[in-house]
């Protein structure tokens, strides 16, 4: 374990050193290349900022309005059949849009049910088995100017469903 910790503390400085040495050997103006990359990064951030702000505002409106709790209550019967706590429906939906908002909901779940509870275990595993689908698609597709997403959304939703199912199964095994 000490070897991994020691190695991890040297990885980033070694990568920076390797990049600088590689640039010097290729006679690249390293600082100019860095500055150009930073300019491109700022342009990308400015281009995706409206999408990010819109997603964050929409998620917070849904959360504050109580709609997510309402939806969880309506789906509680169906969720009970498959062993998925209806209290996690809001977390599941919000995670598809915003990881930071989902983390806030996760902390609420931990406060109410505990980290070692069945609900807490499912929530913990689910957070690491699922992705922020709509955030990722909007940011990366906008940055890369992709207009035809083809099967990306269907595949992402299916993988989120699989990750959620896996979280229920794994938490059930830990019970």
Q: Is residue 21 part of a domain?
A: no
Instruction: Return all residues near 171 (Cβ < 8 A) that are at least 6 apart.
Output: 118, 121, 122, 125
pTM: 0.68
Instruction: Tell me which residue range forms the domain holding 149.
Output: 48-174
pLDDT value of residue 57: 84
Q: Please state the length of the chain.
A: 175
Q: Is residue 94 part of a domain?
A: yes
Pick from 68, 70, 63, 130: nearest CA to 99: 130
pLDDT value of residue 47: 81
pLDDT value of residue 74: 84
Please identify which residue in the block is written with the tokens 């000490």.
Answer: 2
Structure token digits, residue 40: 């491109």
Q: Is residue 4 part of a domain?
A: no
What would the DSSP string read from start to end of 85-146?
-GGGHHHHHHHTT-HHHHHHHHHHHHHHH-TTSHHHHHHHHHHHH---HHHHHHHHHHHTT-
Q: Is residue 5 part of a domain?
A: no
pLDDT value of residue 155: 92
The DSSP output letter for 161 is H
pLDDT value of residue 125: 94
Q: Is residue 57 part of a domain?
A: yes
Q: Domain total for the chain?
A: 1
pLDDT value of residue 111: 95
Q: Is residue 81 part of a domain?
A: yes
Q: Is residue 77 part of a domain?
A: yes
Pick from 67, 111, 112: nearest CA to 90: 67
Give, for all 175 residues of the chain, the pLDDT tens digit: 688 888 888 898 999 999 989 989 998 888 898 899 999 989 888 887 887 788 778 878 887 898 888 887 888 788 878 888 888 988 998 898 888 888 888 999 999 999 999 999 999 999 999 988 887 887 778 777 887 888 988 999 999 999 999 999 999 888 7
Please identify which residue in the block is written with the tokens 């491109």.
Answer: 40
């Amino acid at each position: 374990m000490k070897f991994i910790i020691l190695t991890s503390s040297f990885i980033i400085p070694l990568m920076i050193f390797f990049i600088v040495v590689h640039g010097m050997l290729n006679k690249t103006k390293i600082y100019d290349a860095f500055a150009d990359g930073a300019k491109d990064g700022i342009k990308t951030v400015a281009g995706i900022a409206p999408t990010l702000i819109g997603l964050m505002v929409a998620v917070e409106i849904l959360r504050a309005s109580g709609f997510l709790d309402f939806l969880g209550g309506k789906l509680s019967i169906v969720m009970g059949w498959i062993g998925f706590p209806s209290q996690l429906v809001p977390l599941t939906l919000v995670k598809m849009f915003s990881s930071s908002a989902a983390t806030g909901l996760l902390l609420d779940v931990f406060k109410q049910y505990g980290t070692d509870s069945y609900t807490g275990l499912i929530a913990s595993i689910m957070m690491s088995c699922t992705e922020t689908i709509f955030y990722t698609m909007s940011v990366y597709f906008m940055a890369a100017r992709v207009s035809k997403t083809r099967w990306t959304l269907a595949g992402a939703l299916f993988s989120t469903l699989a990750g959620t199912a896996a979280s229920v199964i794994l938490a059930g095994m830990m019970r």
